[in-house]
Amino acid sequence: MKIQNLISINKQFGSPVYVYDANKIENQYNRLVTAFSKVKSLRIHYAAKALSNISILKFMKKLGSRLDTVSIEEVKIGLLAGFKPNNIIFTPNGVSIDEIEKVSKLGVQINIDNLSILEQFGRRNPITPVCIRINPHVNAGGNSNISVGHIDSKFGISIHQIPLLLRIIKNTQMNVNGIHMHTGSDILDIEVFLYASEILFENALNFKNLEFIDFGSGFKVPYKYGDIETNIEELGKKLSARFNEFCKKYGKNLDLAFEPGKFLVSEAGFFITTVNSVKQTTSTVFAQINSGFNHFIRPMFYNSYHEIKNISNPEGKKRFYSVVGYICETDTFANNREIEEISEGDLLVFKNAGAYCFTMSNNYNSRLKPPEVLWYNNKALLIREKEKFEDILNKQIELNF
Half-sphere exposure of 160 (CA within 13 A, CB side): 6
In the complex, minimum distance from the CB of residue 263 to ligand PLP, in angstroms, rounded to a whole number: 5
Specify the residue, 205 or 228, whose C-beta has the smaller distance to ligand PLP.
228
390 membership: H or E segment, kind and range: helix 389-393
Q: How far is the CB of 265 from ligand PLP (least distance, A)?
A: 8
CA distance 5 to 123: 56
| Least distance in angstroms from the C-beta of 93 to ligand PLP | 7
Closer by beta carbon to ligand PLP, 185 or else 203:
185
Q: Which is nearer to ligand PLP, 50 or 210 (CB)?
A: 50
Is 247 designated active site? no
Terminal C-alpha separation, the chain: 53
Whole-number Å distance between alpha carbons of 201 and 246: 7
Q: How far is the CB of 300 from ligand PLP (least distance, A)?
A: 19
Is 13 or 121 the residue whose CB approaches ligand PLP more closely?
Answer: 121
The SS3 of residue 153 is coil
Structural contact between residues 108 and 128, judged by C-beta atoms closer than 8 angstroms: no
- For residue 142, the tally of other CB atoms under 10 A from its CB is 17
Q: CA separation (Å) from 262 to 90, 184, 190, 265, 354? A: 18, 12, 17, 5, 8
Q: What is the DSSP letter of 362?
A: -
* CB-based closest residue to ligand PLP: 261
Would you say 181 or 272 has its CB closer to ligand PLP? Answer: 181
Distance (Å, whole) CA 141 – CA 130: 26
For residues 256 and 33, the answer to whether their CB atoms sit within 8 Å is no
Q: Rounded to the nearest whole angstrom, what is the least distance from the CB of residue 47 to ligand PLP in the complex? A: 3
CB atoms within 10 A of CB 109: 27
Count Cβ atoms below 10 Å from residue 66 Cβ, excluding itself. 21
Q: How far is the CB of 218 from ligand PLP (least distance, A)?
A: 5
* Cβ closest to ligand PLP, residue 28 vs residue 274: 28
Binding site for ligand PLP (CB under 6 A): 47, 49-50, 68, 70, 91, 182, 185, 216-219, 259-263, 355
Catalytic residues, by residue number, are 328
